[in-house]
Amino acid sequence: MRLEDLYLVLLVGGAVLLVSIAAARAAHRIGLPSLLLFLAVGVVLGEDVIGLQFDDARMAQALGTAALGVILVEGGLSTQWSDVRRLLLPAGILATAGVGISVTVTAAGAHWLLGMDWNLALLLGAIVSSTDAAAVFAVLRSLPLPQKVTGLLEAESGFNDAPTIILVLVFSTAATESPAPLDIAGNLVYQLAAGGALGLVIGRLGAVALRHIALPATGLYPLATVGFGIVAFAAAGAAGASGIIAAYLASMVLGNSKLPHRAATRSFAEGAGWLAQIGLFVMLGLLVTPGELPSAVVPALVIGMFLLLVARPVSVALCLLPFRVPRREQAFISWAGLRGAVPIVLATFPVVSGVAGADGLLNIVFVLVVVFTLLQGPTLPAAARRLGLTRPGAMRDVQVETAPLDVLDADLLTVTVPAESGLSGVAVFELRLPPPTAVTLVVREGAAMVPARDTVLREGDELLLITTPAVREAAERRIRAIGRRGRLAHWLGEHGDPEPADHPAAG
């Protein structure tokens, strides 16, 4: 490549990146999922519009898999262990048995409704049965949902890519080979177990190293932390195990290890995750040929509706049956099974393997992802409200870039006093938050004020709290307890458990 060609490539790449970032901003303002506009940028750049040629499915598969690794590293770093530790068993069942049920039911629908042969039908079922980690992380963390629901969906989306990829690879090679069921099961167990073990070991080693090694520059800590996640991803892949699950688990260990410069690390990982998403979606938009998509619309709508209304609810209901999850939470979990980049990347696997009809599957999956992301993503807030799952007073993180908070390793939280909350009428000193937690600001009727000890809280107040990771959970429990039972919550036996069994959360 000549130097002039390099400048041209960088110019085009930088322009596409900036356009995609502007698209993300526009998508956020109008309530559309960002991935749709990233895909649109790729389609516009493609051969049917501007004319950029890209049809290398093998390169798309390799780059797409690498991008998924980066996305899951970011997801693992931002996942709170306290939110998912009680949900590992149901999330694990959803990510394994749930995927199997969804694949089987979806394949049956494709075979009987569309007349697909069983090999293609099973491939299609495996490709679309995985929920997308990037889409789930982006959408759910902006909704005030119960921790159990958010944690379950996040853990499922982080874990279910691995078994789905294995199934897609198995069905892609089934046309030329006939692997024995025991071989398939053994391969699945090995990939999950070895990938999980490598992820946990590398994450733990990374945490110990970063805690005891003084790096010469602050900016090296985020690089090293993300680097350990990438090492876990690559090491597991090189060992024939699941790099996806290794990356997610290693990053979760690192993200919950109280490492230095956590705020900078999360900001860097978030930026890397966005870059991976933009590059991935634009590349996938380039890969499809728009002129071939109209013929895929009807099959995509049929399979998408069958997946959304039959396969996904059946798998959720069967997998969560032993855990007595309320029906309204099951309904939301079913509706929130978002698809994104993962199915489109997986659709390149049979193309690379030379499976007959694989190009048609790619078009069907592309249309399905676009249509049902448009349907499900924007309607999730309304669905949560209709099902009575929103919690107006729920804690949520505020991303900050201030040096004092980074030095203190502090978290900045906000909580709103909803209607009929026990927080209303309570003075600040009566909160008795665990030190060093402090209420630093109260926003009331659009005006901000620094509260005194005897400042009385009212409905609609928004509180800004500073706390530390060591006491964050205790502070959240105290706020929840007072929100439910008032200032005498402790004496009334209320301790602020995240999911109360006898009465709903009020704050």
Same domain, 282 and 417: no
Cα separation, 267 vs 270, in Å, equals 5
Tell me whether residue 331 is exposed, middle or buried, using C-beta atoms within 10 angstroms of its C-beta: 0 to 12, 13 to 18, 19 or more: middle
- End of a domain among 386, 410, 444? 386
Q: In this predicted model, which residue has the larger pLDDT, 391 or 219?
A: 219
3-class SS of residue 183 = helix
Element of type H or E holding 416 = strand 411-416
Q: Are residues 12 and 135 in the same domain?
A: yes
CA distances from residue 14 to 38, 103, 286, 434 in whole angstroms, order as listed: 14, 39, 16, 47
With respect to residue 207, please indicate whether it lies within any of the assigned structural domains: no
3-state secondary structure at position 403: helix
Q: Tell me if 453 is assigned to some domain.
A: yes
Asked whether residue 378 falls in the same domain as residue 408, the answer is no
Could you tell me the pLDDT band of residue 297, with boundaries at 50, 70 and 90? very high
Question: Do 376 and 415 sit in the same domain of this protein?
Answer: no
What is the domain-level CATH number for residue 42? 1.20.1530.20
CA 464 to chain centre: 26
Q: In terms of domains, do 13 and 47 share one?
A: yes
Q: Which domain holds residue 120?
A: 3-27+34-180+274-386
Does any domain span residue 262? Answer: no
Residues 168 and 308 reside in one and the same domain: yes
Residues 174 and 294 grouped into a single domain: yes
Residue 361 shares a structural domain with residue 448: no
Last residue of a domain, one of 363, 386, 409: 386
For residues 418 and 341, membership in a common domain is answered with: no
Q: Where are the alpha helices (DSSP H) in 377-463?
A: 380-386, 403-408
> Within a domain: residue 185?
no
Task: Spell out a b/e string for 253-267, using b for 16 or more CB atoms within 10 Å of the CB, else e.
Answer: bbbbbebbbbbbbbe
Q: Are residues 376 and 465 in the same domain?
A: no
Give residues with Cβ within 8 angstroms of 443, minimum separation 6. Answer: 461, 462, 463, 464
Is the per-residue pLDDT at 506 higher than 50? no
CATH number, position 474? 3.30.70.1450
10 plus 156 within the same structural domain: yes
Q: Encode pLDDT of 150-184 as tens digits.
A: 888 888 887 887 888 888 888 887 766 666 777 77
Same domain, 111 and 12: yes
For 113-128, write each residue's pLDDT tens digit: 999 988 899 999 999 9
Identify whether 441 is part of a domain.
yes
Residue 60 Rama label (left phi>0; alpha psi -120 to 50; beta): alpha
Residue-wise pLDDT tens digits, 354-392? 888 888 888 999 899 888 888 887 888 888 888 888 766
- Confidence band of 314 (pLDDT split at 50, 70, 90): very high
Question: What is the CB neighbour count within 10 angstroms for residue 56?
Answer: 15
In this prediction the pTM is 0.73
Strands 438-444 and 447-449: antiparallel
Q: Residue 365 is encoded by which pair of tokens?
A: 């999956």
| Main-chain phi, psi angles of 91, to 5 degrees | -65, -40
Give the total number of structural domains in the chain: 2
